[in-house]
Structures are given as C-alpha cells and as structure tokens.
Structure 1
Amino acid sequence: MKLPFRLLPAALLLAAFANASFAQTAPDAEEPAAKPSALDAELFYELLLGEMTARGDEPAAGFQLVMNAARKTNDPALYQRAVEIAFQSRNGDAALQAARAWRQAHPDSREANRYVLQILLALNRVTESAEPLRADIALAAPKDRNVALGLVPRLYSRVSDKKLAANVVEQALADAIAQPATGAAAWTTIGRVRLAAGDTASALDAARRAQAVDARSDYPALLALELMDPKVPQAEPLVRKYLEGKPLPELRLGYARALLEAQRVGEARYQLQQVVTDKPELAEAWLALGTLQAQENQLAPAETSLKRYVQIAQAQRSGEDRTRGLAQAYMGLAQIAEKRRDFAGATAWLDKIDNTQDLMGAQLRRASILAAQGKLEEGRKLIRALPERGPNDARLKLSAEVQLLRDRKQYRAAYDLLGRAVAKDARDVDLMYDQAMLAEKLNDVPAMERLLRQVIAIRPDYHHAYNALGYSLADRGQRLPEAKQLIQKAIELAPNDPFISDSLGWVEFRMGNKAEALRILEAAYKLRPDADIAAHLGEVLWSNGQRDRAQSVWREGLLLSPDNEALQETFKRLRVKP
C-alpha cells in the first residue's frame, strides 16, 4: 500500500539550519523571539548525515540516524521522515517500528496512529490492526467520526483474508456501535466489509441493525441499495423505508437506476420525477429521465428533460462525466428529431458532439438518418467506413448495420450479414440469437429453432433463448405445453423480466387460461408499460368482453409506439380500430 508521504527533508533541514544559525542572535524589538531549535550542532550534523546515508548505499544506517534524531527531538516530522526512509528501502518492519515510536511519543496524534494502521494492513498483519482502528475512530473529532467510519472498508480492501478483516473490523468498532451518534455508520461499515467477504446475509443483517439505530441515516440505505439484487429482495424494503423520510435526492436517483436495471420502468420513472422535483438542479436525474422518456416514445417530455440537462450541465465545471453526459443528451435529442423526420435538426445536435469516445455513436446515428431518408446504402457505407479504434468497434459496427437493415425491414440482408459473422465464430451466442430473431421475421421457424437450441446448448443460462423459442411456439399455437415449459425456465433465470412475464401470459391465453393470463399480463404491463405487452393485454381484455378497457390499453400502446408490429397485427386480425 502506498502511503501519503510528503517530501520534507529539504525544508526540514533549512528550518533547522536557520534556527541553529540564529538562535544566539538577539531578536529585533519589533519581532517576537524565534522558538529555539531542539537540534544542537551535533544532532543537526547527525540528521544531515542520516539524510545523506539514506540517499546513498546504506539506507538502514540512515534510518537509524534519523530515528535517533526523532527520539531526541520528539519531532513528528522526523518520525514521519523515518517511516519514509524505511518504505523507500522496502523495509516494512522498520517503517512499523518508526510509526509505533511516533505514536508512543505522541499518543494523541491521529496521524501517527493512522500510519501504524496503514502499515499493519500493508504488511497483512490484520489481527494487529484492531487496536489502532479503534483508536483512529476515537481520535477523530466527534463531527468527523461517521466519515472516518465510512473510509474503513477502503482501508481493508486489499487485505487477502476478507473474512478475517470483517471479524477484526467488527471487534474494533464495538464502542462505535454502542454510541447513538455513530451506531448507524458503524453497522454500515461492518456490513460493507461483510459484503466484501461474500457474506451477503450478514451484510443485510448489518444494514437492518444500522437502520434500527437511525431510520433517517443515509448510511444503511446506501448499503441496502448496494445489496439490491433479485437474489436479495429483502434489501429493497430498507431503501423504501428510508425514502419515506427526507432522503438525499442522489440516493433516490441511485434507487431509480437500480429499478431500471431490474426492468421496473414505471417505478423508476416515478422516482426520477420525484428527484427532479426535490432537486431540480441535479443534472444526472434530468438525463436519466429524458433518456427513459425517449425510450418510451414520449418525445415532447423527453426533449424538455434532455434540454434541461444540457442547460444545467453546460453551466457546470468541465470533466469527463459532463462531456459524456452531454454527448448522450445530444444523441438523444438527435434521435427525437429523427423520429419527427426533422433530419436537419437531428444533424445539428450530432454536430455538437466533439469528444472522440462518442464520435462513433454520432456517426452511427448519422447513418440511421440517411437510411430514414431513403439512403440505406449510403448509411451502410458510412458505417463500414468508420475506423476501428477499440477492440469492440468492429462488433458495434456490425450491430449498427444489422439494426439499420432491420429498421428498413431488410430482414434477409440482415440475416445473411449475421450468418457470415456467426460462421467466423460459431460460439458467439449473442450473434446467433440475433440471427434467430431475424429467421423468425422471415418466418423460417426451423432455422430459428435450430439457432436458439444451439444457443441453449452453448449457454444453458441464456434466458433470452428460452423465452424467444417459447414465445414463438405460443404465438403460432404450436406445442403449447413445451412452450410454457421453456418460458418458465426463462423466468427461473430472470424472474423480474416483464417481457418474459408477457410471454407466460400469452401462452396461458393460448392454452385457454384467460384469468391467469389476465393476471400475469396486467402485472407485466404495470411493471413495464410497453406496446407489445399492451397488444397482448388488450386482446385478453377484448376476448373477455372488456372492450372499452381493451381499447384504452391499445391507445396507450399506440402512444408508446405508433408503428408497433404486434399492435398493428392485433388490430388487423381482430378487425378493430382503436
């Protein structure tokens, strides 16, 4: 571990020299007398010799000379210099000796104690670190103790035995746990080191204990947010309980992002709207909300949100996050303009992107604009001409060209393009899956099933393949029990995916289980308002005689995606006009 050493010797020697030279000179009447130096001529010479020796071929001898000077003067700077010399000579034991001597001479020095703690951890002497860790928290000013507790997991992050580290930290923080002012932060710290040790259940227990100490504290909610995962559903109630009070908008934003990752779009949208209401100057919330609104085809609100982000971000300090965020906003605004067929406006937004990391994304969007204007081949040429600066650029270009062809319903060309790529790497399940979806568009069911079963054979946990095959069979009314079994397998692998729930609802409907289908589809649509799910939910409602409600759901779906194929096919087959 690299310690935050300072380069002190030159300044230290100059100061000592000044004191030694002028200690016997009478001060001017107008100036206070200089503080006499603890260095006499002999000790000054010893220190100078120690520095020269340490920089030469005998660092151990230099270390001893500087340590001798430190003990005689009791000067913290000399103790620190001794630690530096020991580390420069890669002598951890000597560094620990110097740090402990410094701490013994200055027992109230948090800096000296912190050096002891860091050196022990660097030497992987974890068990011995309990006492200096306890002291570090005690020596911190009361107002700084929760911050000090929050830094503990980072201190122990490089320890090899994470379980031992968790035990030592819990032992050291016994006093902090017992104090109301530090209990929540201390339990949260214990939870984090438990999580680092892979003990999720104990980390969750620590988060609960922390919140029991102080339900308004940010610390346990942050830990619970980190624990949020389909495998740890018990963590989310802790976050929601915290949100009942006056939460940090940044933490609510983190919760919204976790919801988006879990495909819980409606809940995420609500949380983002709360954030921009509570803290309208928080730029990142506007960017997340605008991006989500654009994905849901809410073009006017999305444009407002993204422009608000641009306004706030441009007023902030420059930095990589700001630059990448602005690029994302510009591309979102360009996509909105493209959907409105305002191609000049879309190009104008893309022209604002000037950082090299996002130039490829901007060019891919330009290709989409060309294709939307009927210049498909020009768009494809633009994609193929893009330079490949990184290892993933070739894959990105392939995906963009395939998507360009899909959007223009050039399914055969896209299928063949992916086929050539799969031939080069027969184990690339993502490419194989995409090719299977194009086979489905071409109504080549045997090719689709063959490709999806190859994907499952290579990656048995690839839930998309189970879902796609099961849904395709169900949609055609074929082998329904097998279709249901495939979809249920997908749900086992991805239990919170609303699109897989939509497939299950659809197969239940095809099997005649209308009540169960309605229950599943309503839950899926609530979780993720989507045009495909709206098409299926509306049809189930229509078949049940709830035609007004079916029409309402379909209209919502059309607002989300006016050209959605599933909706249009449903209207045509049922001969309805929403």
Structure 2
Amino acid sequence: MNFPILEPPMSASLPRFRRAPVASAGLALALALAAGTAPAASRLAQAAAPAAAPAAAAGPVLNSPLDAPLFYQLLIGEIELRNGAAGTAYEVILDAARKQRNEQLFKRAADIALQARAGDQALAAARAWRAALPASIEAHRYVIQLLVAMNRPADTVEPLQSLIRLTPADDRAALIRSLPRFFATSTDRKTVPPLLERALEPWRAPAATQGAVLQALAGAWLAADDNERALRLARDAQALDPAAEAPAMIALQLLPRTPAAEALIEAHLKARPDNHAVRMWYARSLSGAQRYTEAAAQLQQLVQAAPDRAAAWLTLGALQVELKQPQAATASLQTYLRLADAAPPAAAAGGRDDEDDDGDATTAPAANDQARIQAFLLLAQAAEQAGDFRAAEAWLARVDNPQRALEVQQRRASLLAAQGQVDEARALIRQLPEKDAETARAKLFAEAQLLRDAKRWQEASDVLGRGAQRFANDVDLMYEQSMLAEKLGRFDEMEQLLRQVIALKPDHHHAHNALGYSLADRNLRLPEAKALIERALALSPGDPFITDSLGWVEYRLGNLAESVRLLRQAYAARPDTEIAAHLGEVLWVSGQTDEARRIWREARGRDAANDVLRETLARLRADL
C-alpha cells in the first residue's frame, strides 16, 4: 500500500527519523532481539543504539522472546522500508508490535508513518499501542501529540485525563502544569483553554492539584492572548501558594503589557526572596522597560544574597553605566571578570548551566567570550564617563574579536570626540570596511551620533540624509532625522518624518512620544499631544521617558498635581537629567522650591552640561 501525504504537513515538533546509512534502528532492534540481548519490553530501547555492546559487557545472556519467523518479519519490514515501500513496512512492523505487545515496535510503526507524513496511520499505530499497553505513558503522549499536530485538539480530552490518572501522585501536579506545552503548535490556541478546563475538571478540587490546575489554565489563556483571564487565574494560584514559582513566571510574561501583573512578582519575591531566577528575570523585564533604577535595585539584592552569580554582576554593571554611575559600574564589572576567570564557561556566560536559573541558556565557550568582551566595552564606557581616557583605551585594547571591531571603533571614536577631536573620530568610523549593508547602516548611525554629541546638528542631518537615499523607508533612520530636524528648528519637517514613521510602523512608540512631546513642549495642540503620548504609553507601558512626556503635557494643561505624580514616577524609575529638569520645574512652580533645588543639584552632579537643565535653571532664574 502507498501512504497518502498528510495535509497539512505534520508538525516539526513530532519525532522525525533519518535514513540510517548502514543499519536502521528497526534492523538493529531485530538483530538484538534475535541475539537474546533484549529480553523484555523495558529493555528493547537499548537495542536501537548505533553499536551493540559486547555480550560479555551486557551481563548474562537471556533467551529472546522472539521466534525465527517474527525476527524475519521485522527484517522484511525494514527491507521494505529501505526499498521505499513505507506502507508495507508499516503494516509488517505494526503486526509484529501487536503480537509482541512491545513499546518499541509500536513506536517504530508510528514513526514509519510519520516519516511518510501519514498522520492517520501514525495515529492508528499510537492508538493500537495504547490499547495493547494501557499503562504506557509514552503511548498516551504519542496519541495526544498526534491529535494536536492533526488539528484535532478536541479529541485530546479523554487521553489527557487518562495520562493524568496514570501519572504517579507525586508527579501529577508537575504534569498538569506542563499540559499547555502539548498545544504549543496548535493553530488555534483560543480553543485550548476550554478543552483543558474540561480535561482538568476532576483535579480542580483536590488540594494536591488545585494550584497546578490554576497555573495550567493561566498558561493556556496566556498563550491564547487573553491576558485578563491569565492574570486572574495566576492570582488565584498564588493565593493558594505564594511561594509557587509558576504564577510569578506567568506574570513576568504578562509584563509590560499588563502592569497589574507586577504585584504577583513582588508578592512571590517577598515569599521566596531566595528565588534568584525570578529576580533575575524581573530585573531584565524592568531593564527592558528602561526602569533602570528599579532593575539595579533588584540586582543589588540578588548579588548580596548570591555574590557568585557572574551574570548578575555583568547585568548590574551595564545598568550602572546607563545610570552614569562609573565607579559602581567599574566595581561590578571587575567583579564579573574575577568570577568569570574562576568559573566554568557556562557559569561565566550565564551564571548557571540552565535557563531556569537566571535566563541564560547559552553554555558554549563563544558565549563566554562574548560576555567578557561586553564587559570590556562597558568598562571602557565607564572609564570614559569618569574622564579616564587612558583606562578606557586600555580596556578597549583587550577586545581582540574582529566581529566586534565596529563597536570597538565606535568607543575609540567616542573617546576622541570627548577630547574635542571630532573630525578624527569621524575618520575612525569611516575607515571601517563595509562588509555588508548592516555594517554600512551602523556606520551611518555611529557617525551621526558623534556629530549629535558635538552639537553639530546640520552635519549630522546631512550624514543621515545621505543614508536615507541608500536605505529607503528605514524607520529608525527617519526617526533620527526627525530628532535632528527638531534640533535645527525645522518642526514641520520633524512632524512630517514622524508621521511617516508612524504610517510605516504604527507601533513605533518612540515616534508617537516624540511628536506628542514636541507639541507639548511648544505648547501647541495639547489635546492631540496628550493623545499621542497616551498611545505611546499604551505601546510601551511603564517607559519612564514616555511617563515624563505625559507629566509634561499635564503641566502644560495646568494639571500640576497630576504632573508632579507622573514626573515623580518617571524620575524614580530613571533618574535622567531631563526628567529631573521637568520635575524640578513643576515643583518650583508649585511652590516646592527646596525639593526642586535638591533634584536639580542631583541632576547637575550627573550631567552639568545638559542643555535642558541649563535652559530650565536660566529661565526660572533658579539659584542652586
């Protein structure tokens, strides 16, 4: 018989088999059975290994349960498969599996059908396997996976319930929590939560599984993009067990789209302050939302509790560089390098060997090297912030990876520009070879940034203008052009560019925020400005710069109390100099002059040359 091609194709997540160059797994199995080295079903898997162990090493020889006709039946099945007759091979192997009631032979028959992309026959083999061996957990898993791959999730309820019943009581909760993974390849994830609710109904009430059921359903609704239900179920699960990790992990996935989820993470860390994995993920989530101060605070707690976590020190150092804390950053990054020198490659790259620990799954030596290079680059940046250009160059000299040449030259160019040698810095960037379009694009941005930092706005605009001719409709390039148009006072051009960016990429939150802030700063079209900024905040919840913009537009609208609230929130998350200038101004106008001076003094200590701060102090005639 010839198998039909299954439409749609079977999911790649199901087992696949390669044609063996010498002996197939089935042939090796047949030979092993005939030799009597795999006497029972529980031992048959060993026979499929590429090379059979010598008889002496295998222990006492036991008689095979197979007779000669059955051995030749298996042999014929494999020969038929090699000759391209997958249908005949399937029938022969499945017949042998039924006679022997053998796990490996049933699996082999199902896999032959999968290899031929014949889903119905694979499912028939798996169901025969389950019928012959009703206590087989693997048979149940095969049936469920095939039903999902064949877009028949509704048929999984009964086998799921049977699988749960077969699972030992001590392992049942873990299995229940993992059930959403069975449906990861489902084409319609919104149908999964209701069928899981039916499948899990018998385990909702028992105390041993109640929390696991809630966690599984929360994960299913999360996959179905119903964040509200996912959050509600995660809350219910956490109420049963505040120390349970799963609700916190679901909440982490909900951030930043669902700010209310953050309370679950904080509650979990209060109950389990030693859960370094959740704390690390939380810090990274906060960092991704540019809430650097809060992210650094979480990492400080982590390294105090677990000072041997190399990855935490590296991430903390990077945050401290962003917060312009060069001395603290240098100490953190040097601690990372000391730990990395003393640790295995996996720990140096990620802190531990597994992703569940702190989010670092990579264990290759290359990842360790890249992490060290990142530390060297960050140390150079910290030294530059501290004005120690010689130390910065020394750190850059330790980077010898050609793939990071552009980053190294960018940092060297930044050092030159910081010393007034802007033209030499530009030449350093320009002389880099353009290996591909991405490198050419990166060079454009690097050169334009040098000119921006030197306040050579027109030259920076000219550089990006030339780039726009080469990289048409590049939204990042257009956005940078708009920022330079604003510096040059060409506000109509800025607005036109930002609206083009929004048209090309409607979820570009920076463009919405920039346009809204520009209107608010010029006291124009304030309702439209507020709507643009609110849209930006919806696209990137918690972003401190967007929160700052919203606080500023509220100030322009005369809502001083709301403005102060928002600006305090933004400044607590990211103590940026411009945010400080805004918060100080609103406090000053509100009569809270002492606090305004304190905040301005803090900001001046970090960045005395900031134009926004200097303009604010001059305009308000504030004496610090």
TM-score, normalised on structure 1? 0.87
Q: Is the 8 A contact 2:280 2:312 kept in 1?
A: yes
- Deviation of 1:387 after TM superposition, in Å, equals 3.6
1:134 alignment partner, one of 161, 164, 180? 161
Give yes or no for the alignment of 1:72 onto 2:99: yes
Give yes or no for the alignment of 1:490 onto 2:533: yes
**1:167-182 counterparts in 2 under 5 A?**
167-182=194-209
Q: Which residue of 1 aligns with 2:349?
A: none
1:494 counterpart SS class: helix
Distance 2:561 2:100 in 1: 86
Distance 2:385 2:504 in 1: 38
1:8 alignment partner, one of 25, 35, 41? 25
Moved more, 313-322 or 243-252: 313-322
Which segments of 5 or more consecutive residues in structure 2 lack a partner in the other structure? 1-10, 18-23, 40-57, 347-363
2:263 alignment partner, one of 237, 249, 256? 237
Distance 1:166 1:250 in 2: 27
Distance 2:86 2:550 in 1: 72
Distance 1:151 1:260 in 2: 29
Distance 2:503 2:65 in 1: 78
Q: Is the 8 A contact 1:83 1:94 kept in 2?
A: yes
Q: Is the 8 A contact 1:371 1:379 kept in 2?
A: yes
Q: AA paired with 1:406?
A: R
With a CA cutoff of 8 Å and minimum separation of 6, indicate the structure with the bigger relative contact order. Answer: 2
Distance 1:268 1:144 in 2: 35
- Deviation of 1:512 after TM superposition, in Å, equals 6.4
2:83 alignment partner, one of 56, 67, 77? 56
**1:170-319 counterparts in 2 under 5 A?**
170-230=197-257, 232-247=258-273, 248-314=275-341, 315-318=343-346, 319=364
Aligned CA distance change for structure 1 residues 129 and 283 (closer, same or farther; 3 Å): same
- Deviation of 1:412 after TM superposition, in Å, equals 1.7
- Deviation of 1:223 after TM superposition, in Å, equals 0.8
Aligned CA distance change for structure 1 residues 441 and 43 (closer, same or farther; 3 Å): closer
Q: Which residue of 1 aligns with 2:381?
A: 335
* 1:206-239 Cα shifts (integer Å, max 9, x gaps): 2123223322210111112111234x33322222
- Deviation of 1:241 after TM superposition, in Å, equals 2.0
Q: Is the 8 A contact 2:529 2:553 kept in 1?
A: no
- Deviation of 1:380 after TM superposition, in Å, equals 1.8
Q: AA paired with 1:77?
A: Q
- Deviation of 1:245 after TM superposition, in Å, equals 0.5
Q: Is the 8 A contact 1:488 1:504 kept in 2?
A: no
Aligned CA distance change for structure 1 residues 284 and 140 (closer, same or farther; 3 Å): farther
* 1:392-420 Cα shifts (integer Å, max 9, x gaps): 33322211111011112222211222233
Q: Is the 8 A contact 2:77 2:88 kept in 1?
A: yes
Q: Is the 8 A contact 1:334 1:349 kept in 2?
A: yes
Distance 2:142 2:556 in 1: 69
**1:416-431 counterparts in 2 under 5 A?**
416-423=462-469, 427-431=473-477
Moved more, 261-270 or 103-112: 261-270
**1:42-191 counterparts in 2 under 5 A?**
42-191=69-218
Moved more, 439-448 or 124-133: 439-448
Q: Which residue of 1 aligns with 2:355?
A: none
1:38 counterpart SS class: coil
Q: AA paired with 1:490?
A: I
Q: Is the 8 A contact 1:463 1:489 kept in 2?
A: no
Aligned CA distance change for structure 1 residues 355 and 156 (closer, same or farther; 3 Å): farther
Distance 1:189 1:155 in 2: 11
Q: AA paired with 1:290?
A: G
Give yes or no for the alignment of 1:386 onto 2:414: no
Q: AA paired with 2:164?
A: I
Q: Which residue of 2 aligns with 1:25?
A: none
Distance 1:183 1:155 in 2: 20
Q: AA paired with 1:175?
A: P
Q: AA paired with 1:549?
A: E
Q: Which residue of 2 aligns with 1:549?
A: 595
1:392 counterpart SS class: helix
- Deviation of 1:56 after TM superposition, in Å, equals 1.7
2:62 counterpart SS class: coil
Q: Is the 8 A contact 2:533 2:550 kept in 1?
A: no
Q: Is the 8 A contact 1:464 1:490 kept in 2?
A: no
Distance 1:450 1:550 in 2: 36
* 1:247-289 Cα shifts (integer Å, max 9, x gaps): 4221122222222333333332322222222322333322222
2:411 counterpart SS class: helix
Q: Is the 8 A contact 1:286 1:306 kept in 2?
A: yes
Aligned CA distance change for structure 1 residues 85 and 437 (closer, same or farther; 3 Å): closer
- Deviation of 1:439 after TM superposition, in Å, equals 3.1
Moved more, 506-515 or 360-369: 506-515
Q: Which residue of 1 aligns with 2:611?
A: 565
TM-score, normalised on structure 2? 0.81
Q: Which residue of 2 aligns with 1:17?
A: 34
Distance 1:32 1:325 in 2: 48
Aligned CA distance change for structure 1 residues 218 and 63 (closer, same or farther; 3 Å): same
Distance 1:462 1:46 in 2: 64
Give yes or no for the alignment of 1:360 onto 2:386: no
Aligned CA distance change for structure 1 residues 175 and 349 (closer, same or farther; 3 Å): farther
2:271 counterpart SS class: coil
Aligned residues: 565
Q: Is the 8 A contact 2:74 2:92 kept in 1?
A: yes
Distance 1:136 1:391 in 2: 53
Identity %: 46
Distance 1:474 1:90 in 2: 61
Q: Is the 8 A contact 1:296 1:560 kept in 2?
A: no
* 1:481-520 Cα shifts (integer Å, max 9, x gaps): 5246414531343153433443454455567665554444
- Deviation of 1:449 after TM superposition, in Å, equals 5.0
Q: Is the 8 A contact 2:34 2:68 kept in 1?
A: no
Aligned CA distance change for structure 1 residues 138 and 391 (closer, same or farther; 3 Å): farther
Give yes or no for the alignment of 1:435 onto 2:494: no
Q: Is the 8 A contact 1:470 1:484 kept in 2?
A: no
* 1:323-382 Cα shifts (integer Å, max 9, x gaps): 433332221111111223333322332333345553322232222223334432332233
- Deviation of 1:172 after TM superposition, in Å, equals 1.9
Q: Which residue of 1 aligns with 2:585?
A: 539
Distance 2:229 2:211 in 1: 15
Q: AA paired with 1:155?
A: F
Distance 1:148 1:551 in 2: 58
Aligned CA distance change for structure 1 residues 485 and 206 (closer, same or farther; 3 Å): same
Q: Which residue of 2 aligns with 1:397?
A: 443
Aligned CA distance change for structure 1 residues 286 and 484 (closer, same or farther; 3 Å): farther
Distance 2:59 2:464 in 1: 84
Distance 1:473 1:127 in 2: 53
Distance 1:435 1:342 in 2: 32
Q: Which residue of 1 aligns with 2:62?
A: 35
Distance 1:59 1:508 in 2: 71
* 1:410-460 Cα shifts (integer Å, max 9, x gaps): 222112222333355664443333223223333455554554565566666
Q: AA paired with 1:332?
A: L
1:344 alignment partner, one of 369, 390, 395? 390
Distance 2:218 2:376 in 1: 40
Q: AA paired with 2:101?
A: N
Distance 1:93 1:420 in 2: 59
Moved more, 542-551 or 41-50: 542-551
Moved more, 60-69 or 407-416: 60-69
Aligned CA distance change for structure 1 residues 493 and 375 (closer, same or farther; 3 Å): closer
Aligned CA distance change for structure 1 residues 198 and 574 (closer, same or farther; 3 Å): closer
Q: Give the alignment's Cα RMSD to 1 decimal.
A: 3.1
